[in-house]
Structure 1
Amino acid sequence: MPDRPEIVCICGSTRFVDEMRAANRDLTFAGVIVVAPGEADAVITTGQKAALDVLHLRKIDLADRVLVVNPGGYVGESTSREIAYARAAGKPISFTDPV
């Protein structure tokens, strides 16, 4: 038995916030520690977006694996960057939908 639960970082477009919340819930109830993108209630600035993008890469660093939430196979520019970062770090990556 592991010393701690698995840590999964959720990645995906913010347009899929409901799907990411569902994945977070399902993983959490399965005993997984989930790190996910931050959410904002309002439009964010370019500077805030850049800071959040860097923060999300640190979340990938913490994770044992990455789950990409990609309904319909959609993977945008930011998510593609995160996937490349995770691959370079040797993190296993899975997708909710075929790419």
Structure 2
Amino acid sequence: MPNRPEIVCICGSTRFVEEIRSANRELSHAGVIVVAPSEAGRMITNDQKAALDVLHRHKIDLADRILVVNPGGYIGDATSREIAYAQTTGKPISFTDPV
């Protein structure tokens, strides 16, 4: 589809929900389609967490690139797995803070 807006999937720890929301706003205002992590809350089961992880990998598949929201350079285990998955699919990866 020609002239389609870029699609960016945001990845990052849910502890940075405000930073993720801010990145979402900035990208959206720049005309980018944003796919972001689900805000599941703290009271989810292991099965729900696993299902959300699979869903987020599908979001990465939809994206042209991923943006890792990593204040202070922090990258947790789940985000590391998302980065590794994006690398296997050949997606370009950028970070909000140096790693």
Identify the TM-score tier after normalising by the shorter chain.
over 0.9
> Which residue identity lines up with residue 53 of structure 2 in the other structure?
D
Shifted more, 43-52 versus 33-42: the winner is 33-42
> Which residue identity lines up with residue 10 of structure 2 in the other structure?
I
Deviation string, structure 1 residues 18-43 (Cα, Å, up to 9, x no partner): 00000000000000000000012451
Question: What is the match of residue 90 of structure 1?
Answer: 90
- Runs of 5+ in structure 1 lacking a partner? none
Change (3 A) 1:4 1:95: same
Question: What is the match of residue 40 of structure 1?
Answer: 40
Displaced runs of 4 or more, over 6 A = none
> Which residue identity lines up with residue 89 of structure 1 in the other structure?
T
SS across alignment from 2:57? helix
Matched, 1:15 2:15: yes
> Which residue identity lines up with residue 84 of structure 1 in the other structure?
A
- Runs of 5+ in structure 2 lacking a partner? none
- The 2-side partners of 1:11 and 1:63 are apart by 11
> Which residue identity lines up with residue 56 of structure 1 in the other structure?
H
TM-score, normalization by structure 2: 0.96
Residues matched between the structures, number: 98
- The 2-side partners of 1:42 and 1:68 are apart by 21
TM-score, normalization by structure 1: 0.96
RMSD: 0.9
